[in-house]
Amino acid sequence: MIEEVAILSAEISQPGKFQYISRPSCVCGRSLDNSSGKIRKSFAWGEIRFLQCAHCGCWCQSPQIGGDCLTAWYDSDEYQGSRDRRGLAYVNYLADEPQRIKEAAERFKADLAPYLPRFGGCVLEIGCATGSLLSVIQNAGHEVAGIDLSRRFTDAARQLHGLEVQVADILSAKIPDGSFDMVLLFGTISNLSDIPRSLQRIYGLLKPGGVLVANYPSADSIAAKLYGERFWMFAPSVSTFMTSMGCGLVLKQAGFSSAESSLDRQMPSFRKLFTHAKCHAVLPVLDALGLGSKSLPFRLPVPGVCIVRALRG
């Protein structure tokens, strides 16, 4: 089935070109005119630039990739990877689906189930990709909904897990307010094109007392500082590489209260671990040994990655 999805999506994997829109301010609201740092990166589809906010330290993509080309990027082999080529963000996203289901089961048990009713909760995932986490949540007795910018991912979610998910941005998705006990942003909040407006919309989608659960790599972490410009967050898909201060400010501005943050713990495959560590030379060896899709049997704290839970009052 995974192979069939990849074949169906091959027509949208051709190279494209980035288009840009203006980005005058950081997520904290301060102007980027007097940035305290600048990083430029070149990719097959074009160049990107990050400016560092002098107030909160967040790195903001400015100008920002926008329009249909960003959706095309998410749909491409350049981003997702495939059987024929390694992607920028993933070696081959679809091939890791069986392992991702195992990760999702652990994620649900440890990070989500304690904050949901035992049965009958309603959960929205933004950036749901192939729907692996949503399928686990649904099998646990909850209603689920999902959106993703990539049609390639949403096709996979339907074919692999029978999920009806929208191809949409959170700002344009047709979803009624006050509908959800929980909204999830795993690997997504940093990619949102307009984080302040998106969080305001998410706040409205939650029921009173509902919880937003998100994770994000922190720009002020030791890992980020050690890697510097080589850190994997300086990528076309990333709108804002946030600091803990920047994340706290934007959540507060959106109306969230009682935000708590801790180091995120995950069960990533060895392929994912070494890809993010930029140890690409090790990947063929792992695959030759049949270890690429394997992971350790316990959850690891991921250096520099935080998980945050924020309540709607």
Model pLDDT, residue 205: 98
Query: Domains of the chain, with CATH numbers?
Result: 2-311 (3.40.50.150)
How far, in Å, are 139, 146, 183, 185, 313 from residue 268 at the CA level?
A: 22, 22, 22, 17, 33
DSSP state of 92: B
pLDDT for 212: 98
- Asked if 56 and 249 count as a contact pair (C-beta separation under 8 A), the reply is yes
Residue that has been written with the tokens 């180091």 in this structure: 263
pTM reported for the whole predicted model: 0.88
Nearest to 36 by CA among 48, 62, 54: 54
Q: What is the pLDDT of residue 82?
A: 80
Integer angstrom CA distances of residue 183 from 111, 199, 215, 241: 13, 10, 12, 21
pLDDT in tens, the chain (313 residues): 334 333 333 333 345 799 999 999 999 999 998 888 999 999 989 999 999 999 999 999 999 999 889 899 988 888 888 877 777 777 678 878 888 898 999 999 999 999 999 999 999 999 999 999 999 999 999 999 999 999 999 999 999 999 999 999 999 999 999 999 999 999 999 999 999 999 999 999 999 999 999 999 999 999 999 999 999 999 999 999 999 999 999 999 999 987 899 999 987 777 667 766 667 677 677 777 776 667 777 778 888 999 999 999 8
For 18, list phi and psi in degrees, rounded to 5.
-70, 145
